[in-house]
Amino acid sequence: MDCSVMDTLTHDVPSPYLDPAGGLDALGYDRAAVHTAAAERLARLGRWEQAYDHLRAAVRLLQGRVGPGDELDRLRREHAEARELSRRDSLTATYNRRYLDECLATLLDQPVDPAVRTLGLSVALVDIDHFKLVNDTYGHLVGDRVLQRLVGVLGSGLPGGAFCARFGGEEFALVLPGQGYAESVEICEAARDRVARHPWAEIADGLQVTVSVGVAHCIGWPTEVERLVGEADVLLYTAKQTGRNAVGFRDTDTGFVRLAGAAAARRAIPQLPAHERTVRRPAVS
């Protein structure tokens, strides 16, 4: 079955698939099998979010199954759930560094998605400004809540196929496959603006949170993960050096680092020599 057809399957169990005893009829079994096959194929294509959706749909269908295969089904479900949990950050429930590395390695090797091959892929590193001050002022419990809330704020406006992952500490990565560089910068600037406008005082009185972002883009395969992420890191550092609460990107015509949105009016944007563009920068809060 073609992926586009499989993607149209719903994730809920319609009542016609349940027999009076609470199990599944033959059509229900077939739906679960289709979801499982879809998940396997999407995973091979590196489309992890959609693969997970199909796995979850299969689990929901199979939870009502009865018969001698129950134990095998349970083990399969537990294996799928454990695999998913291994890719999730325990605090924020977003994807973790392990999943990020796996996904980027797949996408940057030989991407199958025509949109990625045509338009490329962007990786943005997002860092909370002065996060140590948040912890010192409000305590680590509030800091944890900020991290958890940030995931939702960042992810709420991402296009289909994009995802957020925790890169480490207060730093997150946005992966934007099938997006041109200009579009990716716009998406990240919108995410930065959402964070700046979010009512953080709901968590603690007087709390304000902003983020700095560096956006790197590639088109042409294969591409080294370290080089792409390193470029995003350098651009993030530049955004912080220019006053924070900004999105840094590289002008494709001149090679100069620019800032998006209102921050574009800032002056004295640091420009690194070409051989330093992918060097890991020192930590800046």
Cα–Cα distance for residue pair 282/65, rounded to 1 Å: 54
Candidates 270, 280, 216, 272; CA nearest to 240 is 270
For residue range 96-117, what is the model confidence (pLDDT) as tens digits? 999 999 999 988 887 788 888 8
- Active-site choice (40, 170, 226, 231): 170
The pTM for the full model equals 0.70
What pLDDT score does 73 carry? 64
Asked if omega into 199 is within 30° of 0 (cis), the reply is no
| Structure token digits, residue 174 | 């946005």
Instruction: Please say if 102 is a catalytic residue.
Output: no
Cα–Cα distance for residue pair 220/207, rounded to 1 Å: 43
What pLDDT score does 14 carry? 40
Q: Could you list the pLDDT tens digit for every one of the 285 residues in the chain?
A: 333 333 333 333 343 344 444 444 556 666 777 777 777 777 767 676 787 777 777 777 766 554 445 555 665 666 666 666 678 999 999 999 999 999 999 888 877 888 888 999 999 999 999 999 999 999 999 999 999 999 999 999 999 999 999 999 999 999 999 999 999 999 999 999 999 999 999 999 999 999 999 999 998 877 889 999 999 999 999 999 999 999 999 999 999 999 999 999 887 787 765 444 444 444 455
What pLDDT score does 42 carry? 75
Residues near 149 by Cβ (< 8 Å), separated by ≥ 6? 198, 200, 203
All structural domains of the chain: 3-86 (no CATH), 97-276 (3.30.70.270)
Q: Quick one: CA torsion of 285, 200, 94, 5, rounded to 10 degrees?
A: -130
What pLDDT score does 70 carry? 58
Half-sphere exposure in the Cβ direction for 89 (13 Å, CA): 22
Cα–Cα distance for residue pair 12/151, rounded to 1 Å: 26
What pLDDT score does 158 carry? 96
